Structure 1
Amino acid sequence: MQNGQILEVTAGEGYLVELSPGLISDAPGLAGRLSALLGLTDPSVRAVIVTDSNVGPLYAGKVEAALEATRPGASAGVITIPAGEESKTPLELVRVLEAMASLRLTRKDAVIALGGGVVGDLAGLAAALYMRGIRCLQMPTSLLAMVDSSVGGKTAVDLEAGKNLMGVFSQPVGVLIDPEVLRTLPAREISCGWGEIIKYAGLDGDVLAAVRTELGPCRSGIAPLPSVGLIARSIDVKRRIVSEDEKESGARRLLNLGHTAGHAVETASRYALSHGASVAIGMHILTKALVKEGKLPRAMLEDLEELLRQAGLPSSIPPELLARADLDFSIDALLAVASHDKKSAGSGVNLVLPIAPGRAEVRKVSWEDFRAMLETGL
C-alpha cells in the first residue's frame, strides 16, 4: 500500500478524512487518533463501537483495545447488528438506540461506526438522534463506504417504500480509513465499491483517466483493489462537492449519477443486487438511452460497458433475477419506487445525465420522459 493521505471536508464544523494503511493493526497509532478525535483524555468521555456481524469479529476487538489503551473505561462496549441491507431499518435503529441508552451514554460520549455503508448510515443516524445528537466517528471497512458513504454526513435507514427515506444530514467528527482491511473483502464487495468509483469517473476526467489505468490490465472481470491514490481521488471529488453544497440543494445532486434508476432496481431486487451493481445498471440505463436518442456518442456507452466488465459489475439486470417470480422489474414497478425517491420533484425527477466523458449535469425530466428512458435503456 502507498503512504497515507489526508483530505479536509469543510461541511459542518469541518473534519478530516485520513487514509492510513495499517492503522487498525497499529495499536498505539490508532489509540492516539481516537484520543485526539474524541477527547478521550477527559475521564468522563466514552465511545461505543457500532459494527455488524461480519466486521465485528475481525476488527471490533482491535478498536476496543485501542480505546482502552487511551484510558481504562474509555470503551462503552460494542453494539453489533446483523450484516446486510436488511438491518437498515427503523426497527434496528431503535434497537441500537435502546442499547446506547442501556449503556448510559451521555451527550459527551461518541459513536464509532465500524463497518460498511449500512453500519455507517445506521450508526450515524443513531448518533444524530441520541439525546438530540452526539458525535460520530466513521471508520469504514468496505470500499464503497470508504469512497462514498462515510464522507458527507448523509445518515439514513430504509423504509418499505424505498432506500434512505428516513434520515438526517449529520457530519462526522472525522473519517479514519485503513485501506489494508480491503484485503479481507470478497470480490463482490470490491466490485460494489468500484461502482461508486466509476460514478466519480463520470463526474471527473482525472478520476476517469485513473480508473482506465487501474482497470485496463484487468481481463478476468475480477476487480483489483484500487490504489490508495485512486481512493483518495474519489473521496476528493465528493469532498469538493460536499464542501460546496452540504445539504444537496445544488451541486451535490451530481453525486446521484446512476442512483435514481439504480435505487429503483436495487429496491426491486429486494437487495439481491449490491448498491454498487445497482448504480452501475443505473448509469448504463441512462447512457444507453441517451445514445439511442442520439444525444451521446456510442463510444461513451462502449467505454462504460468495458469499465463495468473489468470491474465485475453488471450493465443490465441479471437474467437469473429477471426470471424470479417474486421480483418485479417492470417499468411500472420501477417508476413506483422512483416516485418515492428523494430526487423526485413533483411533476418530474432530477436526473444526473452524462454529457461527455468525465462530465454530467442535473436536469429535471418529466415522468413521461423518464419512463421512455427506462424503456429504451433497460
Structure 2
Amino acid sequence: MSVRHTLNVALGERAYPIWIGPGILDDHARWRAAIRGRHALVVTNATVAPLYLDRTLAALDGLAVASLVLPDGEAYKTLDHCAQVFDALAALKANRDACLVALGGGVIGDLAGFAAATWMRGVDFIQIPTTLLAQVDSSVGGKTGVNLAAGKNLVGAFHQPRAVVIDTGTLATLPPREYRSGLAEVVKYGAIGNAEFFAWLEENAAALAARDDAAVGEAIARSCAHKAGVVARDEREDGERALLNFGHTFGHALETSAGYGTLLHGEAVAIGMVLAARLSAELGRAPAADTQRLERLLAALGLPTALPPGHDAQHLLALMRLDKKNVSGRLRLILWRGIGDAQIVPDVDEGAIGNVLR
C-alpha cells in the first residue's frame, strides 16, 4: 500500500499516528495493530456503508465485531443516535477493552468518538474519515460531541483516537459539494497561521478544485501537520487551539439558524471566515485587501462567501452568544491581523458584529 505521509500527534503516552495515502483502508496490518482488545464496533452511515463497510470489517476478522449503520447527515448527530451506539455496544457485550471504529465523515467521527469517551468512562476508538472535511479537521485532535437544538457540539468531551487512517481514495466517491466543503477547512489553516501555505493554495486552487491527487494529498498532509502541532501544544483549547475556530462562531450560528444540513459545515465556515475577516477590517485590525484575497480563493474553490438571503442578524447574534469560547457572557472571537496571523479577541463589540451581519 502507498503511504504518502505519516504524521504523529505528540501527546506523550497518548501519542497517535496519522496515516495518509491511497489504499490505506486495505492495509490491515498497519491499522489493525492499533486495536488492543477483543471487541470492535464499526459505526458508519447509510451512505458510506455500501462503499467501505465490508472492506473495514475484513480488517477486523478474528475479533468480536459488530457494525451500526446510522442515517446520514448533521441532523442525526444527537444524543438519541448516540444512545443507539451504546445499545450496540451493550448487545456486543463490549467492556473496557472495546474499540469503536468511526467510518465516515465528521458527524460519525464526532458521535462515535463521544460514545467512546463515555462508554464505561472511556474506551479506544479509531478514526477512518471518508470526507475531506473530516480528514483535515475533525478526525484529528480528539474533539467529540453531539448537537442540541440550541446549538452545535454543546455536549461533548475531549477524547483522542488511537489512530487516524486517511485513505485518500475514499474522496473519489465524495459528491462535489461535500468535497468543496472540506476545502474551506484547508483554507483555514493558511488563513490563521501560514501565509506561505495560503499562497500555495492560491497557486494550486485550480488543481485542488479538479481533485488532482498530488495537490489534494499535499493539502491534507499540510493541514493535518498544522493541526497536529497545535493539538500537541494545547490539547484542551486553553489558548492557541482556539485559533482553529476561525470563522466557526459565525459559521455555527449560520448552520443552526438555517437548520442542520441546509448549509454544509464547510460552506458555513467559508462564509464565517469572510465575516471574521470583514469584522477585523472594520475594527481596524487587518487590511481589507486580505479579506478580498480570502474571498477570491474561496470563490475559486467553489465556496460561498456571502450571507444567505433572508438571514436575521439579531438571531445570528443570539446564537453566537452561546459559543463555547465566550467568557462571562462576553463574545470572544477569532479574528486576524491579516493572512496567516489570527488572534483571539475578547469582548468584541456587538455593534460592530451586527454591522457585519447586516
SS of 1:17's equivalent in the other structure is: strand
SS of 1:47's equivalent in the other structure is: strand
Q: What is the RMSD computed on CA atoms of the aligned residues?
A: 1.8
What is the distance in 1 between the residues matched to 2:222 and 2:293? 20
Deviation >6 Å, runs of 4+? none
Identity %, equivalent residues: 41
Is the CA contact (8 Å cut-off) linking 1:289 and 1:374 kept in structure 2? no
Aligned residues: 353
SS of 1:344's equivalent in the other structure is: coil
Deviation of 1:138 after TM superposition, in Å, equals 0.5
| Distance change in 2, residues 1:370/1:236 (3 Å) | farther
Instruction: Provide the residue aligned with 1:350 in structure 2.
Output: 332
| 1:101 equivalent in alignment to 2:83 | no
Deviations 1:41-81 (A, max 9, x none): xxx6121100011111100111101211xxx3x15111111
User: Which 5+ residue runs of structure 1 have no aligned equivalent?
Assistant: 323-328
Write out aligned runs for 1:293-372 (5 A).
293-319=283-309, 322=310, 329-366=311-348, 369-372=349-352
Deviations 1:170-218 (A, max 9, x none): 0001101101110110111111101111111112123212211220567
What is the distance in 1 between the residues matched to 2:35 and 2:127? 12
| 1:47 equivalent in alignment to 2:8 | no
Is the CA contact (8 Å cut-off) linking 2:280 and 2:337 kept in structure 1? no
| Distance change in 2, residues 1:278/1:248 (3 Å) | same
Segment drifting more, 241-250 vs 342-351: 342-351
Deviation of 1:166 after TM superposition, in Å, equals 0.3
What is the distance in 2 between the residues matched to 1:36 and 1:128? 20
What is the distance in 1 between the residues matched to 2:243 and 2:351? 21
What is the distance in 1 between the residues matched to 2:294 and 2:357? 14
Write out aligned runs for 1:73-84 (5 A).
74-84=63-73
Is the CA contact (8 Å cut-off) linking 1:18 and 1:176 kept in structure 2? yes
SS of 1:37's equivalent in the other structure is: coil
| Distance change in 2, residues 1:207/1:288 (3 Å) | same
| 1:63 equivalent in alignment to 2:56 | yes
Deviation of 1:290 after TM superposition, in Å, equals 2.8
What is the distance in 2 between the residues matched to 1:3 and 1:98? 36
SS of 2:144's equivalent in the other structure is: strand
Deviation of 1:299 after TM superposition, in Å, equals 1.6
What is the distance in 2 between the residues matched to 1:290 and 1:270? 27
Is the CA contact (8 Å cut-off) linking 1:142 and 1:185 kept in structure 2? yes
Is the CA contact (8 Å cut-off) linking 2:23 and 2:167 kept in structure 1? yes
| Distance change in 2, residues 1:88/1:171 (3 Å) | same
Deviation of 1:295 after TM superposition, in Å, equals 3.4
Deviations 1:135-172 (A, max 9, x none): 00010000000000000000000011100000000000
Write out aligned runs for 1:156-175 (5 A).
156-175=145-164
TM-score (norm 1): 0.89
Is the CA contact (8 Å cut-off) linking 1:223 and 1:310 kept in structure 2? no
Is the CA contact (8 Å cut-off) linking 2:189 and 2:226 kept in structure 1? yes
SS of 2:350's equivalent in the other structure is: helix
What is the distance in 2 between the residues matched to 1:117 and 1:188? 15
| 1:86 equivalent in alignment to 2:75 | yes
Instruction: Provide the residue aligned with 1:21 in structure 2.
Output: 22
| 1:132 equivalent in alignment to 2:112 | no
Deviation of 1:3 after TM superposition, in Å, equals 5.0
Instruction: Provide the residue aligned with 1:38 in structure 2.
Output: 35
2:139 to 130, 150, 160: 150
What is the distance in 2 between the residues matched to 1:97 and 1:371? 45
Is the CA contact (8 Å cut-off) linking 2:321 and 2:329 kept in structure 1? no
Q: Which amino acid aligns with 2:185?
A: E
TM-score (norm 2): 0.94
Deviations 1:279-310 (A, max 9, x none): 11111112123334443222212111111111
User: Which 5+ residue runs of structure 2 have no aligned equivalent?
Assistant: none
SS of 2:204's equivalent in the other structure is: helix
Q: Which amino acid aligns with 2:330?
A: G
Deviation of 1:20 after TM superposition, in Å, equals 2.7
Is the CA contact (8 Å cut-off) linking 1:97 and 1:126 kept in structure 2? yes
What is the distance in 1 between the residues matched to 2:102 and 2:41? 9
